[in-house]
Structure 1
Amino acid sequence: MMEIVSSTVEIVIGLLVLIGALFSAFSAFGLLRLPDVYLRAHAATKSTTLGVLCVLSGAFFFFWYFDNYISARLLLGILFVFITAPIAGHLNGRAAYRTDVPLWEQSVQDELEPLLKGKKMKYEEKDMME
């Protein structure tokens, strides 16, 4: 009975690491192939974060099950990646948009333009008044 559980755990851990590696590879492919900075930021944050989380989770479960060791470093790594990667991707995209990096020419809609256009005009008017 223990052999069945052990082999099942090995398969689950192997699948987690494999899925994480595949998501990371897809992310690298997306970074190379996608046309603009906004789509690349999407590939870099979404799939890379999921890939790294799967690999770290697989490592965590491996050490937990086979060595009976709960790694606080791996848990902190999972938490750190889960929190910082999406925030960094958002800030990179925001900085690119605010510095007028153009969208891909086949982009359908720019939802931020009407929202930020009024704010940009207010700042320009304020600078002109001073």
Structure 2
Amino acid sequence: MKDIVTSVLLLTGAAASLLGALGLVRFPDVPSRLQAATKPQTLGLLLILLGTAVQVEFESAATLLLVILFQVITAPVLSQIVGRSAYRSGTLRRDTLVVDELADPMARDDDPPGPTPRGGGGGPS
């Protein structure tokens, strides 16, 4: 029974990773590539690690569970950073976005700060 569960988890994880890799190569723009790079790849890795954890002793399985936790925490953060970098650098086509929630915050970040008043000087008011 343990071998069957392991086989199903490993094969399903490999299929999810393969589909994510194909999407990464085939999709035309940054947001869809980020989708393909994070969700199926993370799911595939989680299933592969769970399939491996079923077969090994408890100490090694606990280590694999820590790897799973680390992957679940870091993948969305990395995706966010790459997406925002693509947005700022202009490689992301903004006309294809349905909702552009970063337009106002980025415009405020890009505005140069106004002149700062210096203390003590008697300049014109």
Q: State the TM-score, normalized to the length of structure 1.
A: 0.75
Shift, 1:107, TM fit: 4.0
User: Could you report, residue by residue, the CA deviation over 1:28-57 in whole angstroms, capped at 9, with x for unpaired residues?
Assistant: 001101111222112111110111000001
Contact 2:19 2:40 in 1 (8 A): yes
1:99 maps to 2:77: no
Task: Pick the aligned partner of 1:112 from 92, 98, 102.
Answer: 102
What residue number does 1:27 align with? 20
- Unaligned runs of at least 5 residues, structure 1: 1-6, 64-68
- Tell me, in whole angstroms, the C-alpha distance in 1 between the residues paired with 2:96 and 2:77: 26
Unaligned runs of 5+ in 2: 117-125
Instruction: Report if aligned partners of 1:16, 1:58 keep a CA contact under 8 Å in 2.
Output: yes
Structure with more helix by fraction:
1
Partner of 2:45: 52
Task: Give runs of ≥4 in structure 1 deviating > 6 Å.
Answer: none
Q: How many residues align?
A: 114
TM-score, scaled relative to structure 2:
0.77
Q: Which residue of 2 aligns with 1:40?
A: 33
Kindly name which structure, 1 or 2, has the bigger radius of gyration based on alpha carbons: 2
Percent of aligned pairs with the same amino acid: 40
> What's the secondary structure of 1:129's corresponding residue?
coil
Q: Distance in 1 between matches of 2:41 and 2:68?
A: 12
Distance 1:55 1:107, change over 3 A: same
Q: 1:87 to 1:26 in 2, by over 3 A?
A: same
Query: Paired residue for 1:129, among 94, 115, 125?
Result: 115
Whether the 8 Å contact between 2:13 and 2:46 is mirrored in structure 1 is yes
Task: Please give the per-residue CA displacement for 1:65-104, whole angstroms capped at 9, x wherever unaligned.
Answer: xxxx111331222122111122111111111112222327
Question: Aligned partners of 1:108, 1:88: CA distance in 2, in Å?
Answer: 22
Instruction: Write the distance in 2 (CA, Å) between the matches of 1:14 and 1:104.
Output: 43
Counterpart position of 1:17: 10
| In 1, Cα distance between equivalents of 2:97 and 2:109 | 23
Structure-2 separation of matches of 1:46 and 1:75: 18
